[in-house]
Amino acid sequence: MVALSSVERWEAIVPRLEAARQSHLLCFWPTLGEPSRQLLLADLEEIALESLPNLVERCVLGDEASSLPPTSELEPVVPERIADAGPAAHEAGEQELSRGAVAAVTVAGGQATRLGFDGPKGIFPVGPVTGRGSFHLFAEQLHAAGKRYGRAVPWYVMTSASNHCATVAWFEAHGLLGLARDQVRFFVQGRMPCFGLDGRILLAERGRVAFAPDGHGGMFGALKRSGMLRDMSERGVRHLSCFQVDNPLVRCLDPRFIGMHALAGAELSGKSLAKAHDREGLGTFCRHRGRLRVVEYSELPESMATAREADGRRRYDAGSISVYVIERGFAERMADAGLPWHRARKRVAHVDCATGRAVEPSEPNAVKLERFLFDAAPQARVWLVVETDRDEEFAPVKNLTGADSVQTSRAAQVRRACRWLREAGVEVPVGEDGEPAAVVEFSARVAQEARGLRGSVPGGLRIAPGSCVYLGPDGVHAVER
């Protein structure tokens, strides 16, 4: 195929922009050099211009896509307890892992800017002793799974346009964290243009469109566009174990959860927690006309957030922690069907087309559209919600300080490590406040649950008050702080 010149591409794009009512995007064309023109054309060709007028009308100027059903039609979900799962569920999950039917999928498109760190979230130091990032902690779990089940579990990492190169370069510089080259696959989530409040797409620079990631719900389309769904099919993968990069306590491959999902014949299963308070920043699992639905916390009506049962319990209490098992066939269906858009008003820096000046807005001036993974839930013919233990599996790093911060996550990791050690018969010092009086971390290669530590801890191990200890696959290490 012969590549078109920039003039030919320009001639092709002009009528499409006019039809989409976005001709202003070429306002600086006469002033651009050839390299800038090529970049702008590439940006414009990425946009589905033909569908834009309808999209702008519905989701930018209006807010049709993310509208909720009437509150009266949303019923609470009562999750099954993962702690109550019998040996059959655990055995079923282990069988799926042993036959290579499970893949890990990490949503990792974010930057750690809010944490004061210049780089992808997955490399931000969260390990309380080692300072390792989530990518490293997850890789340890995959190593352990490979050893236990006798085959490597494929790992699909979804990056974004803003962090893809940095993420891949970091993995390469760290030897893919000891994983096989064909075990780790990277794919880039999609992006959407940012719209002014009048529905016109913004320019980030004179020759670049202002884009933003299309949300974690873009995972399905990105898996298909990148060929990853085909790759999964060729590997015999049936179940996708999906999780976010910012939760160091997540169980990447939970055999009980996978087994419960498989035995239920579910297309989509989600993990939940009892909420810490009415307005905790978690989506809420609900039932709508027999189908599963997740209401985003920012869209949860006050009447639902504060609703109580007759005995005083929170009525809508099943909070989503964005951990799912999804059938590959269902993911393929969602990639073709697409998900609804959610509208968010944000501040977006841009170039004024009339003056050519850079604008740094102090108030929201733009609309960003994104898709949420949980919006696939209503399409699942069979679904399952499973409640897990917050102290065991949820300590996200979303903020630099305060709730869901670096400090709270590290503290939760230490508490879990010390709790597991006590259950294994190791004496761990406790301070007057009831918190561990030592900093402890151990590799997932040593254990991935409390019972896994029994027999793995060196005899006579004692944790001294004030010490900093790492338990790795090669033994116990005291670390100077």
What is the predicted pLDDT for the residue at 304? 95
Q: Please compute the mean of the pLDDT values over residues 236-264 and round it to a whole number.
A: 98
What is the predicted pLDDT for the residue at 233? 98
21 residue type, one letter: R
Task: From 393, 416, 434, give the residue that closes a domain.
Answer: 393
Average per-residue pLDDT for the chain: 94
Tell me the residue length of the chain.
481
- Enumerate residues 6+ apart whose C-beta is below 8 A from 296: 66, 283, 342, 372, 374
User: Which residues partner with 345 through β-bridges?
Assistant: 367
What is the predicted pLDDT for the residue at 295? 93
**Residue 65 pLDDT greater than 60, yes or no:** no
How far separated are the first and last CA of the chain, in Å rounded?
A: 60
What is the predicted pLDDT for the residue at 11? 92
Which is it for the CA torsion 82, 88, 90, 94, positive or negative?
A: negative
Q: Please compute the mean of the pLDDT values over residues 78-89 and round it to a whole number.
A: 94
**Residue 479 pLDDT greater than 80, yes or no:** no
What is the predicted pLDDT for the residue at 406? 95
Q: What is the SS3 assignment for 105?
A: strand
**Residue 68 pLDDT greater than 80, yes or no:** no
Structural domain of 258:
71-393
| Contact predicate 250/314, CB 8 Å | no
Residues 236 and 290 in one domain: yes
Residues 132 and 272 in one domain: yes
Q: What percent of the chain has pLDDT over 70?
A: 98
Distance CA 218, CA 214 (A): 6
Q: How confident is the model at residue 8 (pLDDT cuts 50, 70, 90)?
A: confident
Choose between 461 and 311: higher pLDDT.
311
What is the predicted pLDDT for the residue at 47? 95
In a domain, 232, yes or no: yes
Distance CA 304, CA 288 (A): 14
Residues 414 and 380 in one domain: no
| Number of domains, the chain | 3
What is the predicted pLDDT for the residue at 298? 87
Residues 335 and 466 in one domain: no
In a domain, 1, yes or no: no
Residues 162 and 196 in one domain: yes
Residues 234 and 358 in one domain: yes
For 35-98, give the DSSP string: HHHHHHHHHHHHS-GGGHHHHIIIIISS--TTPPPPGGGEEEP-PEEGGG--HHHHHHHHHHHH
Residues 174 and 310 in one domain: yes
In a domain, 398, yes or no: no
Strands (E) across 215-371 are located at 239-244, 268-274, 283-288, 291-295, 318-327, 342-346, 350-351, 358-359, 366-370
Q: How confident is the model at residue 64 (pLDDT cuts 50, 70, 90)?
A: low
**Residue 214 pLDDT greater than 60, yes or no:** yes
**Residue 481 pLDDT greater than 70, yes or no:** no
